[in-house]
Amino acid sequence: MFFQIAFKNILRNKRRTLLAEVSIIFGIVVIVFTGALTNGMSWGWATSQIAEKVGAMQIEHRDYEKEHLFKPLETTLTGSSQLIEEIKEYPGVTAAFGTLELDGMISNGSKATTFFGKGIQVSAMKETLPKMERSISKGRPLGESQEEILLGPKLAEDLELELGDTVMVLVQTMKGGLNMSEMIFVGTQRGGDSDYESAHYVEMHLSAAQRLMRMPERVSQIVIGFENFETIKENADRLQELLNTNNSVPLRVKDYTETIPGWEFNGFISLIGIVVGIVLFIVVGSGIANTMFMSVMERRKEIGTIKAIGAEQKHIKRLFILEGFIISLVGAIAGFILAVFIVIAVDKMGGVSFPPPPGSSIPITVPTKLDNGISIFAIALSLVVGILASYLPAGISARLDPVVTLREE
């Protein structure tokens, strides 16, 4: 009965109700589309980083992050070949490769300097990071020969090396001894963005690094490729449980949210969208409140009549709150449906293009991906605002004196 009366009251002034609905629909569309845009930005950022640099997941010793700079040999993983094969058998894993960190001295015969770097499974890395672009500024990437080595550009310059020159690499082994190997310089590869890394970075085949360190079957980290982006996080947790059960070495599985540099900024972007939504719906709420106030003013005699025949204050209050709830619910559903169509249409057209950043002529295109969390937030916010905006007018209507209202002309 209350629903029937509420619907009839809402439809009495169709123009005013329509304006309230339009404001709610607009608010829902803005919030959902903004959420889809920020989600698409995060998706594009994550998928590019996964395919180019960090992989979907990384596995390392539990204490690696804390101790690898001070105890690099003690935080390596043993039985790496078998472990990698086990990981490849996990459903959804497309590829995996190991890396081994090492440091020591490198010399051209007349000059010597310190270095840090990695041994990498080159062929497996190409499968795991299919879109990785090696920033080779001179020469070529590592080939099949295990004796080839890449150096940072500044390191090669400081050692006055030409392509094809030999260098001597000296490291401390796991048992504290020294080991040296002669390697062939085939190209320059940046290991990072700083001048220090450019002047000290070295990269070689994993097997060569293991042999040089006298650490067969050991790696510092394992990088994993995964086929379904949407399920990476939950599968990282499952893989963690599986490895904890099958391995005595304490392992840690990190998903892309822990390995992509600056990923925490993504949460700040989402927070901005939520704040914008709250501010927007405060404005929308004022429109709903105005609609309900006008409805109370127009229906004073009607309210007085209802109270005169026995309706209590709580019934009157409930009726007006229900009207505000219905207006919000209809607007939220209509707005969400419209927003979904807009998000899908924009995504099929290629996303939203932004002007190119300084120094680039290529515009940035951001896909739109529906964010379920933001969508639920937008609908819930609409309903809460509708109820709150109706509460004060409902209270005023419930306190009207039927004797006074019935005497009004």
Question: Residues for the chain: how many in total?
Answer: 409
SS (H, E, C) 87-115: HHCCCCEEEEEEEEEEEEEEECCCCEEEE
What pLDDT is stored for residue 64 in this prediction?
81
> What does residue 223 show for φ and ψ, rounded to 5 degrees?
-105, 135
Lowest mean pLDDT among 15-19, 174-178, 249-253, 356-360: 356-360
- Of residues 255 and 270, which shows the higher confidence score? 255
Over residues 213-237, the pLDDT tens digits come to 998 889 999 999 999 999 999 999 9
What pLDDT is stored for residue 120 in this prediction?
94
Answer yes or no: is pLDDT of 361 > 80.
Answer: no
Lowest mean pLDDT among 147-156, 177-186, 296-305: 296-305
Lowest mean pLDDT among 151-155, 239-243, 291-295: 291-295
pTM of the model: 0.78
What pLDDT is stored for residue 161 in this prediction?
92
Task: Give residue for tokens 């964010």.
Answer: 371
Portion of the chain with pLDDT greater than 70, in percent? 79
Report the alpha-carbon distance of residue 184 to residue 94 in Å, rounded.
Answer: 32
Question: Cβ distance 139 to 187 under 8 Å?
Answer: yes
Task: Give residue for tokens 């892309």.
Answer: 256
Lowest mean pLDDT among 28-37, 132-141, 185-194, 196-205: 185-194
What pLDDT is stored for residue 19 in this prediction?
77
Task: Give residue for tokens 């990698």.
Answer: 84
Over residues 256-292, the pLDDT tens digits come to 999 988 887 777 777 777 777 777 777 776 766 666 6
What pLDDT is stored for residue 296 in this prediction?
60
Tell me the average pLDDT across 346-364: 74
Answer yes or no: is pLDDT of 362 > 70.
Answer: no
Q: What is the pLDDT confidence band of residue 253, given thresholds at 50, 70 and 90?
A: very high
What pLDDT is stored for residue 351 in this prediction?
81
> What does residue 193 show for φ and ψ, rounded to 5 degrees?
-100, -10
Report the alpha-carbon distance of residue 312 to residue 399 in Å, rounded.
Answer: 10
Answer yes or no: is pLDDT of 398 > 60.
Answer: no
Q: Which two tokens stand for residue 364?
A: 């940035």
Answer yes or no: is pLDDT of 5 > 50.
Answer: yes
Answer yes or no: is pLDDT of 252 > 60.
Answer: yes
- Of residues 91 and 405, which shows the higher confidence score? 91
- Of residues 352 and 196, which shows the higher confidence score? 352
| Strand-pair category, 201-205 with 112-120 | parallel
CB atoms within 10 A of CB 121: 24
Over residues 111-128, the pLDDT tens digits come to 999 998 899 999 899 899
Answer yes or no: is pLDDT of 404 > 50.
Answer: no
What pLDDT is stored for residue 359 in this prediction?
53
Rounded to 10 degrees, the C-alpha dihedral 9/377/36/267 comes to 160
Q: What is the pLDDT confidence band of residue 12, given thresholds at 50, 70 and 90?
A: low
Distance, first Cα to last Cα, the chain: 29
- Of residues 285 and 250, which shows the higher confidence score? 250
Over residues 197-207, the pLDDT tens digits come to 778 899 999 99
Q: Can you spell out the DSSP letters for 186-233?
A: EEEE-SSSSHHHHHHEEEEEHHHHHHHHT-TT-BSEEEEEES-GGGHH
Tell me the average pLDDT across 26-33: 87
Average pLDDT, the chain: 82
Tell me the average pLDDT across 164-191: 89
150: helix, strand or coil? strand
Q: What is the pLDDT confidence band of residue 405, given thresholds at 50, 70 and 90?
A: very low
Answer yes or no: is pLDDT of 94 > 70.
Answer: yes
Over residues 288-343, the pLDDT tens digits come to 666 666 666 665 556 556 656 555 666 667 777 777 788 888 888 999 999 999 99
